[in-house]
Copies of this chain bind each other. A is one copy, B any other.
Amino acid sequence: MTQMRVLNNYISVDCVIFGFDFDKLNVLVVERTLTNDDGVVDFSDLTLTGNHIFEEETIVEAADRILFDLTGLADIYLEQFKTFASPDRLKKENDRKWLLHDGRDPDKRIVSIGFFALLATQKVTLEWKGRNIKWLPVDEVKSLAFDHNLILEEALKALRSKLLHEPIGFELLPDKFTLSQLQKVYEIILDTTFDKRNFRKKVARMKYLIPLNEKQQGVAHKPAQLYLFSREVYEKTRKEILNFLV
């Protein structure tokens, strides 16, 4: 009794999948190559990861599905950040060609709900799944398909804002991480630097960052203490702070 899954052709979900590799912030992109009927490549460029939703599927389910199809991972940090529906968002020349070639109507308005996902790149082994997908450092992103440069920009804004106000930095790291790695996450995404001692004093006050009886191994320097984030402790101790100034 399997049910036929039908794609809704005017609602799509775009996932800005951010991956951190201890050194820089990357985003997952997919190669889009339009090959004409005579086998000649018309153009080739990059898109963010996204897809139309199925009828009977919620947008969160669709985002989870896209994420799972590309990475094989579930339970990844995922957040709806903005929706894009400009009438001309799919109307660049290459985009029209692409949609037409794909049997879709380039004049139909397609609304896309943007999600961003956070993970450590090392959690994923990218496999060829009929499409060429790869990590691209965020600051090396050139021109993307559709309105995906705009979507990426807005995702970055949302990520920075969230990072400033809620503890989500470790979502970009392995489950067990060091304080220097965590500091690097904040420094790179917020494009700043912090004093190591002051950063650690701050972390010491966060009871939900729990030091483990475990150290790094196989590094060519003093091995660092590993930490774990505890959502339970966080939910229990969190309080909001009025901070609307300057």
Contact = CB atoms under 8 A, between A and B. Distances in A.
Interface of A: 8, 10-11, 53, 55-59, 80, 82-83, 85-87, 109, 111, 113, 160-161, 163-169, 186, 190, 194, 202, 205-206, 237-246
Q: Which 3 A-B pairs have the closest CB atoms?
A: A83-B83, A167-B244, A59-B85
Given A55-B109, A165-B243, 14 more contacts: A11-B111, A59-B85, A83-B83, A83-B113, A111-B113, A164-B165, A164-B242, A165-B165, A165-B244, A167-B245, A168-B244, A202-B242, A206-B245, A237-B246
B246 A164 contact: no
A85 B240 CA distance: 29
Contacts of A165: 161, 164-165, 243-244
Contacts of A111: 11, 111, 113
Most chain B CB within a 10 A radius of its CB, from A58, A83, A194, A206: A83
Contact of A113 (B85, B242, B244): B85
Contacts of A242: 164, 186, 190, 194, 202
Contact of A80 (B82, B202, B237): B82
A244 B56 contact: no
A245 B11 contact: no
B164 A241 contact: yes
Given A11-B109, A82-B80, A244 B166 contact: yes
B206 A164 contact: no
B240 A87 contact: no
A204 to B, nearest CB: 10
